[in-house]
Each structure stands twice: as structure tokens, then as C-alpha cells.
Structure 1
Amino acid sequence: MAGAAVFARPAAAQAVGLGLAQAKHCVACHRVEKKVVGPPFKAIAERFKGESTAIPHLAQRIREGSRGQWGAIGMPRQVDVTQEEAEQLAAWILSLYRPE
């Protein structure tokens, strides 16, 4: 999967992932650790940890939007995010999971 390859180096992965999230305006509704409009990225990572289909599933939700997954406020379609970018974002979000 293209998105996963970008995140082979952990330090670079975090910088690239956050930069892409900022460039695509994901941070208008999401933060890494704090709920704003949408869930924190770490909560998403925790929900989907270990799922083999997490990257394609999250990439699809990013591009097509979703309703009712995290509460009453839905996520609109992100038409300016390419499939590759959505996969990169999904891989980055999943990389944020740290078991306690």
C-alpha cells in the first residue's frame, strides 16, 4: 500500500503525516490528542488498531465522508484529498497508536 511505505521511518513519518493533515485542513476539525469537532487522531488510531483493513477503510472515510461513526456530527467528503494522500493520512493516524 502506498501510504504505508511513506511511514517506514517513525520521526519522518510524524512530520510528514502532520504536515499533510495541516495542508489538507484536517486540523480544522481534528487534533492529535484533543477532541475539537471530530475525534482526536489518537482515538481513531486506538479504535482501528490491529485491523488489517484499517488503511483502506479510513482512506475511504476520508474521501467519501461518514455519518454516525463518532457522534451526531458527520464528516464531509474531502474531495481535494487524493486516494494516495488519504492512504498516507490513514497510515499516519494509525501510527499514532501507543498502547499504555
Structure 2
Amino acid sequence: MKLLPIAALLLLFNSASTAIAQTAPVDLLRKNGCMACHGLVHKQVGPGFAQIAERYRNDPGAAPRLAEKIRNGSVGAWGRVIMPRQSLVSEADSRVLATWVLSQPSVAKR
């Protein structure tokens, strides 16, 4: 009988941590202001998400590199445009964002 409250507590904790880890990419885009510089399809200040996906579509190592660029910034990947560091974006969130960006359909399919 004493195990039941402990099991319920563990289940509650696991559900809460899973919900935190599964933040929707769209919520992360809003929370971190990504749309201030990036469009869904076309360039605003920086390239559109579909343009980024198109460039890296056949690159199996793109997701971790893109996640790193989100957190650390980059210069010169898209001309003279600077991607400022986003140090407030967690490593986990940067991986979610990178995976989402790379999943965007090609511009021609839109």
C-alpha cells in the first residue's frame, strides 16, 4: 500500500517533465522571437525556414550544426547577414528548433 503514493508521485513527475520536454516548435519560435528575423518561406532579415531546409536537405549532419548555430550564432553562412547568439535558448530547445526547421517542405512544394 505504501508503494501506491510513491508510484503516483513518480507518474506525476514523469508526466510533468515529459510535457516540459515536448514544447511545440511553434511555441519555441514565438518565445524566442525567431519570426522577427526569419520568415516561414522567404528571407526577411535572415533566410526563411524553408530556404534553410532546402540548403541542408541532403546533409545528415545538419541538425546538430544548425542547433549549434542557433545557440552560438554565425556569420557568413547567408552572405553578410549575422545570426546573433541566442544564449537563452537551451540546448534541448535548439535541437527541437533545428529539427523543425529542417523538416520544412521545399519552397516549390508550397
Counterpart code for 2:40: V
Distance 1:82 1:50 in 2: 26
Cα distance between partner residues in 2 of 1:88 and 1:97 = 17
2:28 is aligned with 1:20: yes
- Residue in 1 aligned with 2:60? 52
The equivalent residue for 2:5 is none
Q: Distance in 2 between matches of 1:82 and 1:21?
A: 13
Please tell me whether Structure 1 or Structure 2 has the larger radius of gyration of its CA atoms: 2
| Aligned counterpart in structure 1 of residue 39 of structure 2, from 11, 24, 31 | 31
Q: What is the alpha-carbon distance in structure 2 between the residues aligned to residue 40 and residue 51 of structure 1?
A: 18
Unpaired stretches in structure 2, ≥5 consecutive residues: 1-21
Q: Does 1:74 align with 2:82?
A: yes
Task: Name the CA distance, whole Å, in 2 between partners of 1:89 and 1:20.
Answer: 7
Q: TM-score, length-normalised on structure 2? A: 0.73
What is the SS of the residue equivalent to 1:19?
A: helix
Which amino acid letter does the alignment assign opposite residue 44 of structure 1? Answer: I
Query: 1:97, CA displacement in angstroms?
Result: 2.7
What is the CA–CA distance in structure 1 between the aligned matches of 2:43 and 2:53, rounded to whole Å?
A: 14
CA distance in 2, matches of 1:88, 1:63: 12
Counting matched residue pairs gives: 87
The 4+ residue runs of structure 1 with deviation greater than 4 A are: none
Give unpaired runs (5+ residues) of structure 1. 1-5, 7-15
Partner of 1:42 in structure 2? 50
Q: CA deviation at 1:22?
A: 1.2
**What percentage of aligned pairs have identical amino acids?**
41
Q: Which amino acid aligns with 1:68?
A: G
